[in-house]
Structure 1
Amino acid sequence: MQAELVDIRNHMAQYPPFDEMTEELLDRVVGDIEVVYFKAGSQILELGDPSSWLFYVRSGAVEIYRRTGELYNRISEGEVFGQFGLLMNRKVRFPAKALEDVLLYKIPYDTFQYLWENDDNFADFVEIEDRSRLRSAVSRREKSNQLMTSKVTRLISREPVSAPHTVRLQEAARIMTEHGVSALLLMDEEGDKPLLKGIITDRDLRTRALSEALASETPISEIMSEDLITIRSNIFIFEAMLTMLHNNVHHLPVMDGDEVRGVIALSDIVKYESQSSLYLVSNIYHQQDVKGLKKISLDVRDSFVRMVNEDANSHMIGSAMAGIGRSFTQRLLALGEEKLGPPPVPYCFMALGSMARDEQLVVTDQDNAMILDDSFVPEEHDEYFLALAKFVSDGLAECGYTYCTGDIMATNQKWRQPLRVWKDYFTDWIDNPKAEALLNSNIFFDLDGIYGETDFAEQLKTLVAEKASNSQRFLAMLARNALNRTPPIGFFRTFVLEEDGKHQKTFNLKRRGTAPLSDLIRVHALACGSRAQNSFERLKAIGNTKLLLEDDLGNLRDALEFISIVRIRHQALAIEADRQPDNNVRPEDLSPFERSHLKDAFQVVSGAQKFLKFRYHATVARNV
């Protein structure tokens, strides 16, 4: 093959759909190519003209227009255009114009047709638009992981074993032994049909019965768990796993309405979940001191990498990592109470930011706070809570969760206040949305009560949901603030990189990717009065209100998933190479597939920000 053709072949082999093409097919394409050049401003395709070529951009940039004259897309190196006319009636459907001097490879219709008939990947690529390709890329990854494609009913291997909730302790133990089960469902049989009343596990028998030497005739109702966590029978296994992680439970009744289909246990999920995040959480609660927690914290990154390598999606990974971080915090709080004694007044420990959203990764710091009971008296009680907060914060730092540089931690007295003060904080932030209030909104409006009187946190969520949705001024200011971080995509669909500092020639996938998405999703969710915290769950809530079209919601979900998973893979690769993981990516370190679809995803973010600006009149927020 001539040197010029080798150069063409090597270039095209970097970009989809040619990157997955067989050598034989790619050689045929290269052999049929014509090379053409257009000066900036030249018309390449006119609406309605005969369509005979697929165009591949070697260098430069091209603008694609709708038939109305409205700009449809800008494409650059490694991208193709002209396919829709070839697929339809051999007439140009989207006019094209050279935005700058452009070098193109022309692939003739006969070659295009041959590829379309003989290469399914090529056919899929040219038949769908950019955002559909993004959705396809996300879907293809998720389908490769059984946790995300298998329903939880697949784990049910037997009929549920149950007994009346009135049985005695000895009888309950006998039934469990006879049937060889680690959990017994306890039913209320007084109505027309039995209803699930509670559950008892072998762990309960050890910790609540044997350790306290309860009599064999003790009613089982005295030690059964009544505040049940259950799951629906139509959910996926990974959702069951996340429920276990979030609630630190080892058994989940599976329900069809109010009928019990079965019970799944931790051991059932581990058959599928080789990442061991559930076992890691279990081990956290068995540690007796900070030294033990620090030792097993070394397993967190290994668990993260295994999840990435087994094609878990970003929701699953983020939730699992948040569950692990939440468990470290909860165990430290319990150890702190053992050391300092019982708290003088009730309190709730809040997780904030990515942990509260279930979107935590391995590069993370601490964001937390304390809500104290309104009976709190600083002079009498604060010494205890400061000591507890410091014990937890120092312990988290030992386990790899760095101190917050902005001091958003319970060790800061400002963020260790009674419930009434917290309600005043949130009310003031919404009623008077100044710069500091907006910054606090971005941090504190993602909150989760993870220990103690968690109802305190639920009261704050309710307050936010009710007040924010009724304050157009606050929403406008928050939307305006959400536009400050833009995706790193330039006018010509090229990546915009840092120009100086230690991260030059990179872009930050958190600051310029996932964070802008989380910010704009938060605004829409607050406008809808949603109490959801996770970005994917917020999108579901937004969809229920019809604030956004289903296609737009789908595009946002896909963009969030793809940007997140590229960020996650970047961190996993750094860990495997014994480098410190971060969020700063060099374009040349990405595969052509990732580069192409990241551009699609960033364009979704850019479009969503434009709608945000329009929807909430963000540009005139100061005058609202």
Structure 2
Amino acid sequence: MQVEQIEIAQFLESYAPFDDLPEDALNYLAQHIEVAYFRAGTKILGYGEDIQDLYVIRSGAVESYRRNGDLYNRMEAGGIFGEMGLMMNRKVRFAVTAIEDTLVYCIHVDIFNEYCDKYEAFSDYFEAEGSVRLHQAVVEHDDNNDLTTAKVKSLLHRDVVTVRCDTAIQEVAQIMTDEHVSSVLVVDPNKPISDDPEEDDGQVVGIVTDKDIRAKVVANGLTLDIAVNAVMSEQLIFLDANAYVFEAVQAMLKDNLHHLPVLHKKKPIGVISLSDILRYESQSSLLLVRGILAQQSVEDLTHYAKQLNNVFVRMVNEDANSHMIGTAMAVIGRTFKQRLLAMAEESLGPPPIPYCFIALGSMARDEQLIVTDQDNAMILDDRFDEAKHGQYFQNLADFVCDGLAQCGYAYCSGEIMASFKKWRLTRSQWRAIFMSWIEEPKPQALLNSSIFFDLDGVWGRIKWADELKSFVATQGRANKRFLANMAANARNRTPPLGFFKGFVLEHDGEHKRSMNLKRRGTAPLSDVIRVHALAVGSRKQNSFERLEDIIEAKLLPEGKAQDLRDALEYIAMIRIRHQAWQIEQGEQPDNSIDPNLLSPFEQRNLKEAFAILEKAQSFLKFRYQTNNGLN
């Protein structure tokens, strides 16, 4: 190589991801790099322009900007930009301007794609960047291609690659090389296929990626004849082929996944990766959530949380529906919890016994909005000893709940938080208390059931939360008296409609001449749907997904479940748009709205939605009868 090319190679190998490239690949890259120079103040890339190169800053500094002109990032020597455009539709995603005289190395897209395919460490770097972006923005809504209509199976472009669980790692690596894939599914031919429709895993028992082989085998000096089941990842999240792309995005966000197996009738048909999602964004929109996991302190998180209002408003302005907005906000909330829990364990040391931190209420249902408090609890291992372990978990819970409060998630006025000892229970204790609520449905037990029966594992032994959900689904469905009492409880919060179908407004207080769309609208609708979901044994948490199970079970008269779906969506969107409008006006968002702010068309539809809720509550009394009544 020439002296100049040697100098380029030496510079690149000082920065990720080039420092992981083999020497011959690095040298080839150095020989094919183009050099460009930009004076201070010069535009390098404009939003929406075609892009053909990855840019590496050799000297100088640049700034990148969002499409609205807001500063996105500032980079100096070693910084990289342009990768998002290359991974999507080869259109610039962030405009870039030189703020100093700047020298850049330009790597052509063909080499970039080739190296992403050949070197996993190189591709992982940019996929990780994409993962951060999945935590750094929100919906980029494209009116021409809606994530709510595109199916996951449209992302599959090759047959699935599988290996037996007893296959040697060396053979697995050879198969992956021959098939040009970065992951394979591991199957156990001797595993019986479950009859449970909730367990669509068939014979798939794990997944192995290039990263697993590098980190678990090579880095630990294991022999290459070790069976693949010794290093595979067993905690798999599956997606049905008919699921929507935005559901894949949700799953990847929620569980921090880079690979997602896709099933059809319990059989694996492919694996989609984060890069598949990013490439698909060139044809459709993508749910992007702020990069909370990159923050290093509670103070950083607190500062970062100030962006939530803008995230929420942007989703609303880009016409995301209530399901997508609720899911995005719930994912953000979970991620705050996960980061705080990681920080807590870093500060306090590893937990003395296993535990599971759970989210409750709207976060668990993926129906969280910008106005919310924190509802959470903790499941502890049955070996829990208050004298030995109590102080650790008290400190951990206080750290998380106080951190959430600093980030804008208000303390629960009902004290349903893990920081209260009564909501840190062992696995056996949770089962016992859930059973007591079901068998003795007194008023407080019913109130607790309406909160705690919407639960989702956030951190630790997530499976324990799933076990509780299954327990509730089984026990609740079998107890008619409990269902009748839950149904009676779900009729307590009535919609704000008068005898002549006019709006009933608050007469005094801070929200005089308004109506609370959560307390009198979405919350009682969720209560109604929860009762029906319990009756059919649904294990779903989200109200829209519960309605799918209710429809499948034919529990309601034809068309009534769809009416509930429409009513929930309409009231939720009125509530969401009102909160976004308040934020834009510089006001504190809330759940109360003056109907005079709505157009006549909106008022008519809102009254119709409330009427559907009213009829649904009346149907509860007819559908769930008991001679015992409410205790």
Q: 2:172 & 2:295 partners in 1: Cα distance?
A: 30
Change (3 A) 1:199 1:466: closer
RMSD: 3.2
Residue of structure 2 equivalent to 1:484: 492
1:592 aligned onto 2:600: yes
Contact 1:251 1:265 in 2 (8 A): yes
**2:249 paired residue among 217, 222, 241:** 241
Greater alpha carbon shift after TM alignment, 378-387 vs 203-212: 203-212
- How far the C-alpha of 1:230 sits from its partner, in A, is 2.2
Contact 1:480 1:618 in 2 (8 A): no
**1:231 paired residue among 228, 235, 239:** 239
- How far the C-alpha of 1:529 sits from its partner, in A, is 3.0
**Structure 2 residue matching 1:348: 3-state secondary structure:** strand
Greater alpha carbon shift after TM alignment, 551-560 vs 249-258: 249-258
Change (3 A) 1:163 1:291: farther
**Structure 1 residue matching 2:147: 3-state secondary structure:** helix
Contact 1:304 1:572 in 2 (8 A): yes
Greater alpha carbon shift after TM alignment, 209-218 vs 354-363: 209-218
Query: Deviations for 1:147-194, whole angstroms, at most 9, x for unmatched residues?
Result: 011112222344556666666667766776787654444566899xx9
- How far the C-alpha of 1:217 sits from its partner, in A, is 6.5
Query: What amino acid does structure 1 have at the position aligned with 2:478?
Result: N
Residue of structure 2 equivalent to 1:146: 146
1:524 aligned onto 2:532: yes
- How far the C-alpha of 1:145 sits from its partner, in A, is 6.0
Change (3 A) 1:300 1:157: farther
Residue of structure 2 equivalent to 1:296: 304
Query: What amino acid does structure 1 have at the position aligned with 2:149?
Result: T
Query: Deviations for 1:417-443, whole angstroms, at most 9, x for unmatched residues?
Result: 222322232222222222222221211
Change (3 A) 1:492 1:200: same
Matches for 1:4-153 after TM superposition, within 5 Å: 146-153=146-153
Residue of structure 2 equivalent to 1:569: 577
Matches for 1:114-263 after TM superposition, within 5 Å: 146-160=146-160, 181-186=181-186, 196=204, 198-204=206-212, 207-208=215-216, 212=220, 220-257=228-265, 259-263=267-271
Greater alpha carbon shift after TM alignment, 288-297 vs 553-562: 288-297
**Structure 1 residue matching 2:629: 3-state secondary structure:** helix
Contact 2:522 2:571 in 1 (8 A): yes
- How far the C-alpha of 1:390 sits from its partner, in A, is 0.8
**Structure 2 residue matching 1:146: 3-state secondary structure:** coil
Q: 2:299 & 2:173 partners in 1: Cα distance?
A: 36
Contact 1:148 1:237 in 2 (8 A): yes
- How far the C-alpha of 1:559 sits from its partner, in A, is 0.8
Residue of structure 2 equivalent to 1:135: none
Structure 1 unaligned blocks of 5 or more: 1-140
Greater alpha carbon shift after TM alignment, 141-150 vs 298-307: 141-150
**2:522 paired residue among 514, 528, 547:** 514
Structure 2 unaligned blocks of 5 or more: 1-140, 192-201
Change (3 A) 1:229 1:406: same
Q: 1:398 & 1:406 partners in 2: Cα distance?
A: 18
Contact 2:340 2:403 in 1 (8 A): yes
Contact 1:340 1:384 in 2 (8 A): yes
Larger radius of gyration: 1
Q: 1:588 & 1:533 partners in 2: Cα distance?
A: 34
Query: What amino acid does structure 2 have at the position aligned with 1:411?
Result: S
Contact 1:559 1:601 in 2 (8 A): yes
Contact 1:423 1:460 in 2 (8 A): yes
Query: What amino acid does structure 1 have at the position aligned with 2:153?
Result: T
Change (3 A) 1:142 1:592: farther
Residue of structure 2 equivalent to 1:380: 388
- How far the C-alpha of 1:513 sits from its partner, in A, is 0.5
- How far the C-alpha of 1:481 sits from its partner, in A, is 1.9
Q: 2:469 & 2:184 partners in 1: Cα distance?
A: 35
Query: What amino acid does structure 2 have at the position aligned with 1:427?
Result: M
**1:415 paired residue among 416, 420, 423:** 423
Percentage of matched positions with identical amino acids: 54
1:544 aligned onto 2:552: yes
Q: 1:185 & 1:468 partners in 2: Cα distance?
A: 36
Greater alpha carbon shift after TM alignment, 576-585 vs 257-266: 257-266
Q: 1:277 & 1:170 partners in 2: Cα distance?
A: 38
Contact 2:156 2:270 in 1 (8 A): yes
Q: 1:200 & 1:424 partners in 2: Cα distance?
A: 38
Query: What amino acid does structure 2 have at the position aligned with 1:232?
Result: D
Q: 1:574 & 1:433 partners in 2: Cα distance?
A: 40
Residue of structure 2 equivalent to 1:341: 349
**Structure 2 residue matching 1:350: 3-state secondary structure:** strand
Query: What amino acid does structure 2 have at the position aligned with 1:559?
Result: A
Residue of structure 2 equivalent to 1:431: 439
- How far the C-alpha of 1:409 sits from its partner, in A, is 0.4
Query: Deviations for 1:540-582, whole angstroms, at most 9, x for unmatched residues?
Result: 2223333212311111111111111221222222333333221
Q: 1:527 & 1:187 partners in 2: Cα distance?
A: 35
Change (3 A) 1:562 1:143: farther
Change (3 A) 1:165 1:576: farther
Contact 2:361 2:455 in 1 (8 A): yes
**Structure 2 residue matching 1:349: 3-state secondary structure:** strand
Contact 2:566 2:609 in 1 (8 A): yes
Residue of structure 2 equivalent to 1:41: none
Q: 1:197 & 1:454 partners in 2: Cα distance?
A: 18
Q: 1:142 & 1:483 partners in 2: Cα distance?
A: 40
Q: 2:214 & 2:292 partners in 1: Cα distance?
A: 19
- How far the C-alpha of 1:220 sits from its partner, in A, is 4.8
Greater alpha carbon shift after TM alignment, 472-481 vs 346-355: 472-481
Change (3 A) 1:480 1:618: farther
Contact 1:166 1:220 in 2 (8 A): yes
Q: 2:604 & 2:583 partners in 1: Cα distance?
A: 25
**1:580 paired residue among 567, 588, 608:** 588
Change (3 A) 1:310 1:618: farther
Contact 1:449 1:457 in 2 (8 A): yes
Query: What amino acid does structure 1 have at the position aligned with 2:529?
Result: I
Residue of structure 2 equivalent to 1:305: 313
- How far the C-alpha of 1:264 sits from its partner, in A, is 1.9
Greater alpha carbon shift after TM alignment, 390-399 vs 250-259: 250-259
Q: 1:620 & 1:143 partners in 2: Cα distance?
A: 53
Change (3 A) 1:455 1:252: closer
Greater alpha carbon shift after TM alignment, 424-433 vs 457-466: 457-466
* Residues matched between the structures, number: 479
Q: 1:427 & 1:189 partners in 2: Cα distance?
A: 38
Q: 1:418 & 1:161 partners in 2: Cα distance?
A: 41
Residue of structure 1 equivalent to 2:18: none
1:359 aligned onto 2:405: no
Change (3 A) 1:152 1:592: farther
Matches for 1:261-280 after TM superposition, within 5 Å: 261-270=269-278, 277-278=287-288, 280=290
1:370 aligned onto 2:373: no
- How far the C-alpha of 1:616 sits from its partner, in A, is 2.6
Change (3 A) 1:259 1:454: closer
Q: 1:610 & 1:512 partners in 2: Cα distance?
A: 15
Q: 2:398 & 2:453 partners in 1: Cα distance?
A: 23
Residue of structure 1 equivalent to 2:52: none
1:399 aligned onto 2:404: no
Greater alpha carbon shift after TM alignment, 427-436 vs 498-507: 427-436
**Structure 2 residue matching 1:448: 3-state secondary structure:** strand
Query: Deviations for 1:575-601, whole angstroms, at most 9, x for unmatched residues?
Result: 333332211112122233322211111
1:454 aligned onto 2:462: yes
- TM-score (norm. length: structure 2): 0.69
